[in-house]
Amino acid sequence: MSSPLKHWKAALFRHETILLAVLLAEWFYFDSVGRRFGTLDNTFDILRHSSEIGLLALVMTPIMLTGGIDLSVGSLLGLCAILFGKLWRDAHFSPGLAAACTLGIGAIAGGLNAGLITRLRLPPLIVTLGTYSLFRGLAEAITHGVDTFTDFPASFLALGQERLGGLPTQAWFFFAVAIAIWLLVHRTTFGRALRAIGYAPEGARYAGLPVERRLASAYILAGVVAALAAIIYTARLGQAKADAGTGYELFAITAVVLGGTSIFGGAGTVHGTLLGVATIAVLSNGLVHARQPREVAGMLTGALLLFALASGEISKRLAKFRARRHAPNPAVPVPAPHSQ
Amino acid sequence: MLGKYFRELSVAAVLVVLLLVLAIAAPAFFDAQPLFSRLARDTPTLVAACGMTLVILCRQIDISIGSQFAVCGVCAGMLAAGKAPVFVVCGAPLLIGAALGAINGALVAGLRLPSIVVTLATMVIAREGLRWAQQGAFINLPDGLQWFGLAQRSGQCALIAFALLLLAAMAWAMRHLAGGRFVYAVGSDAEAARLAGLRPQLTTFLVFVLMGALTGLAALMNLAQSPQVDPKSGTGLELKAIAAAVVGGVAVSGGRGRLWGVFAGVLLLACINPALTYLHVEAYWEKAIQGAIILLAVVADGMRSRKAREA
Amino acid sequence: MKQFLPFFLLLGLALGPGCQKQSEQSDSAGGKKLTIALMPKSKGNAYFISCKAGADEAVKEVGADLIFDGPTEPDPAKQNEIVENWITLGVDVIAVACENKEGISTALKKAKAKGIKIVTFDSDANPDARDFFVNQATPEGIAEALMDEAARLTGEEGEFAIITASLTAANMNEWRKHIEARLHEKYPKMKLVDTKPCDDLKDKAQTEATNLLSANPNLKLIMAICSPAVPGAAEAVKQAGKTGAVKVIGLGLPSENRKYVHEGVTQSVILWKTTDLGYLTIKVAADLAGGKLKPGDTVYHAGRLGDLEVKGDSIILGKPFIFNNENIDQFDF
C-alpha cells in the first residue's frame, strides 16, 4: 500500500502551493502599499534583476537533488565575467565569440568541481568552498583587482538592457533555461537518476545508474549556466569586474530551499525553485516600494526561509504521524525521515 | 603512529616548510613585536575554529558565526561604553553567543532542519539586524579596557596563553570526557549512537550552544585588543574557521578529526597573508592561494581514502 | 491546517509596519512635495551616515520627501538595481555616490531619459549620465592633498605604504592612480613600497599595518585611504612602539581618530565637512528639480553655505580639510 508514499507526495505538493500563496499574498500586499508596484515596468524590473540569480538557482536545483551543493557559482560568475571582458577587449574577439568561449570556460570550471567530487569522492560542500575562494581569487589575480572592462558595443548591451518582443531580452534566455532544466529534471531519465542518486547513492549504483557521469554532468551544467549568467550580468551592468556576483550563491541556495528542495537530496522541483526565486525577488522589490530599508528585506528573507523549513518539517512529521495511525500493522514499515 | 596521524602531520610539515622559507627569505617575519601582535590577533580565529571543529565532527556546519561575533562584540562594546562593570562586559558576549547558538541548535537538533540552511538564515538575520541598528558606527571603548588593563606585551601573552590552554583543555576533553566521545560517536553514526543510548539531538544542540559561546569569547578576545569596536568585525570568520578545520584534517562527513590538526590549519592559513607581505608578493594572490590550499588539503584526503578503498 | 499558521504570522509581520507606513506615505505625483532619492555607496557606513545628517537638515529646509537607501551587499550591480527601482517608483531627483562609474551610468542614463534629474556626489558617474556633480574635491584634489601631506611629514623622501579598502573599489583605485602620478611627478625621492587591502575592516587594517611595519623596516609613513583603516593603522603603529617614527595619515572621520590624533600617533586626518556635503547635495537636487539651478550657471547660492562656484557641471564644496591635533575637537562627526 502506498499510503505513506501518498502522504509524502502530498506534503511536497502542499509546499509549493503554500509558497504560491505566500507569493500572491506578497504581490497583493505590495500592490496595495506601493503606487507603482503592480505596473508592467516594475514587473520587468523584477525580471531583469533576478535573471542571473534565477539562472544560478535553476542550475543549483539538479545539484541539490543529488544531495550535493555548489558554493562556487557566484565566484565563477565573477571569473567568467572578467574573462569575457578580457577576451573581448584584449584578444579582440567579437562579443559572440567571446561569449561562446566563456561558456566553454564555465564548463571547464564546472568540470574541475565535477572531477574532484566524482573522481575523488570528495564532499561537494568542501570542494566548492575551495573553488569559491579559488575562482574569486583567480578573478582578482587576473585583473590585479583593479582592471574592469567597459564600453561594450550597444548591440551586446541590448542583451541586458533592452527589450525583445515585449519582454526584457534576458528574460527569454531565463525562460528558455528554466524550461530546459524543468524538462531535464522532471521528464528525462537523467532527472530521475539525479533524484535517485540523492535519495540513495549506493542504491542507485547497485541499480546500474552511471552515478559519476550524472553527477559530473550536473556540475558541468552549473558551470555553463554560471557563465551565461555572467554574460547577462555584464550586459545588464555594462561593466565586468572581479567582484561580480559576490554573494549570489547564498541567494540561489535560499531560493532552492525555499522552493521545497531538500538539502539532503532526493526531493525537490524546478517549479518550486522558480517560485522561490520569485518570492525573494518580489519581496526585495516590494519592500523598496513600501519605503522600507534594505536591511528589512534581508531579515524577512532569512525569517521566511526558516519558516519554510520549519513548516516543511512539521508537515512531514504530521504526515508520518498520520501514516502510523492509518497503518498500525507492524508488517507495514513506516519510512524513516530521510537524513544523512 | 605516523600513519594514524599522517593527515595532521602533513599540515604541520607544510607549515614548517613555509616558516623555513620565511626564515631564509624574510627573517623579519620572526621579529618579536609583530609576531606577538599577529599571534594575539589570530587567537579569536583559533577559538572559533575549535568550536567549528566540534560542529563539523557532529556532521553539521555553522556559517553564522561571523554575524554572531559582530553582535557579541557590539553588545559588549556598548556595555563597556555604558560603564558596565568588567565582569558584565566579559560575561555578556559569552551569554549572547550561547543564546544565538541555542537558536541554531534548537532548529537543527530539535526540528532536524539542515544546519547549512538554518545557519545561513540566522547569519543573514543577525547581520542585517545589526547593520540596521548600528549603521556602521564604531564604538569607542573606555580607556583601561584594552588588554584588560595589562601592559601590551603581557596582554598579548595572556591572550595567546589563554587560547592555547583552551585548545589543550578541549583536546583533552574530546579524548577523555564522555561528552567529547559522544561528539565523535554522533558524528560517525547518529543512529548507532542513539541505539547505544546516547542522545544525538541533545549532543548536537549543546555543540551549537558551545559554538556560540566560543564565538562570544572570541569576540571578547578581539575587543580586548583595541580601543574601538568595528561592527563589521568578524566578517569572513566562518570561512576562516571552516577552512582551518578542513585543512587541519577534520572530515566533513563527521566523526574524524583532531584539534591539534586544526591548530596547525589555523597557523598555516594565518601565515599566508603576512607571508605575502614579507615576501613582497602582490596582495591579489591571497584568495587564490587560500582556495588552492583548501583544495589541496581536500584532494589529499580524497586520494588517501581512495587508496584505502581500493586496498 | 497548522502549517499555514507560520505563513500567516509572517504576513502579519510584513503587514504591521506597512500599515503604519501607509499613513505617512505622501503622493508626490499629485501633490507638490518633491521626492529626492539619496543613495550612499553602501549602507552601514559611518561616513555616509554623517552625510545624511546634513541631508536631513536640507530636506527639512526645502520641504521635500527623502528616500535614503543603498546596497547592503558588495555586489556591484546592487546600486543599479536600486536606481531602476526608483525609476519605477517615479522619484523626482536621484542623488547618488557612485561605486562603479561605468556600471552606474547605465542605470542613470535610463533615469535621465525618463526625465528624472540626476545629481552625483562624493564620486562621479560618466558626465553624460548626470546633470550635476557635487564635488567636495576632485579625485585629483584628494590625492594631491594626501600625497602633499605625506611628503610634508616625511621631508619628501622615504618609503611609505598605502592601505586601501579592496582592490576592486573604484574610487580608491582612482585616488591611487592620482597619488602615484603625483608621487612620480613631484616627489621622486619617495617610494611607495606596498598597497594592501583591508576589506573595509579595521581589524584587518591593523594586521596589515603590523606586517607592513615589520616587513619594511625603513617605512616612514602609512597612508590609509579607507576610513576604517586609519584607526586600524594607528593602533598597529602604537602597538609596534613606533609612534612618531612612522607617521599615519588618511581619509577618515574625526570621531574615529580623535584619540590617536591627540596621542600623536596619527598626524593628519583629511576629509571634508561631510554634513555640508550632504546638505549641499540635497539643496542642489531640490533646486535642480525646481528649475532654480540650470546648466550654464556659474554661481550657485547654496543656502547656509553661501555662494559656491559652479565649474561647468561640477559644484565645488571646497578643498579637502585637514584635521589635526589643533582643530579636531571642534568637530563631532
Residue in chain B nearest C234 by alpha carbon? B226
pLDDT per position as a tens digit, B23-49: 998 888 888 888 888 899 999 999 999
pLDDT per position as a tens digit, B267-310: 999 988 888 888 888 888 888 998 998 898 888 877 777 777 77
Yes or no, beta carbons of B298 and A339 under 8 Å apart: no
ipTM over 0.85: yes
Please, are residues C320 and C137 in contact by the beta-carbon 8 Å criterion? yes
Residue C47: predicted pLDDT? 84
| CA-closest candidate to residue C148, choices C320, C266, C263, C318 | C320
Q: Please list every residue in chain C whose beta carbon sits closer than 8 Å to the beta carbon of residue B135.
A: 43-44, 46, 49
The matching CATH number, chosen from 1.10.3470, 1.25.40, 3.40.50, 1.10.10, for B6-310 is: 1.10.3470
CA distance B92 to B95: 5
Considering only the top CATH level, what class is C29-137+274-318?
alpha beta
Domains C29-137+274-318 and C139-271 share a fold: yes
- Residue numbers of chain C with a pLDDT score lower than 70: 1-32
Which chains neighbour B (Cβ–Cβ under 8 Å, 3 or more pairs)?
Answer: A, C
Question: For residues A226-251, b (16+ Cβ closer than 10 Å) or e, as one string?
Answer: bbbbbbbbbbbbbbbbbbbbbebbbb
Q: Closest CB to C46: pick one of B138, B233, B277.
A: B138
Yes or no, beta carbons of B127 and A253 under 8 Å apart: no
CA distance B29 to A56: 43
Residue in chain C nearest B42 by alpha carbon? C207
Q: Global pTM?
A: 0.87
| Shortest Cα–Cα distance, C58 to chain A (Å) | 20
Q: What phi, psi does C67 have (nearest 5°)? A: -110, 125
pLDDT per position as a tens digit, A207-244: 888 999 999 999 999 999 999 999 999 999 989 999 89
CA distance C258 to C264: 10
> Given CB atoms, is A31 within the 8 Å cutoff of chain C?
no
pLDDT per position as a tens digit, C203-249: 999 999 999 998 899 999 999 998 899 999 999 999 888 998 999 99
Residue in chain A nearest C77 by alpha carbon? A237
- Residue C266, classed as helix, strand or coil, is strand
CA distance A301 to C164: 32
> Given CB atoms, is A161 within the 8 Å cutoff of chain C?
yes
Considering only the top CATH level, what class is C139-271?
alpha beta
- Residue numbers of chain A with a pLDDT score lower than 50: 1, 339-340
Which chains neighbour C (Cβ–Cβ under 8 Å, 3 or more pairs)?
Answer: A, B
Please, are residues A334 and A4 in contact by the beta-carbon 8 Å criterion? yes
What is the residue extent of each domain of chain C?
A: 29-137+274-318, 139-271
Would you tell me the crossing angle of helices C5-24 and A294-326 to the nearest 10 degrees?
A: 160
Interface test with B, best of C41, C210, C243 (most B CBs within 10 A): C210
Yes or no, beta carbons of B288 and A302 under 8 Å apart: no
- Residue A254, classed as helix, strand or coil, is helix
Residue in chain C nearest A147 by alpha carbon? C168
Other beta carbons less than 10 A from residue C115's beta carbon: 9
Yes or no, beta carbons of C85 and A39 under 8 Å apart: no
User: What is the architecture, at CATH level 2, of domain A42-320?
Assistant: Orthogonal Bundle (1.10)
> Given CB atoms, is A43 within the 8 Å cutoff of chain C?
no
Residue C33: predicted pLDDT? 84
Strand-strand pairing, B139-140 and C247-251: unpaired
What is the residue extent of each domain of chain A?
A: 42-320
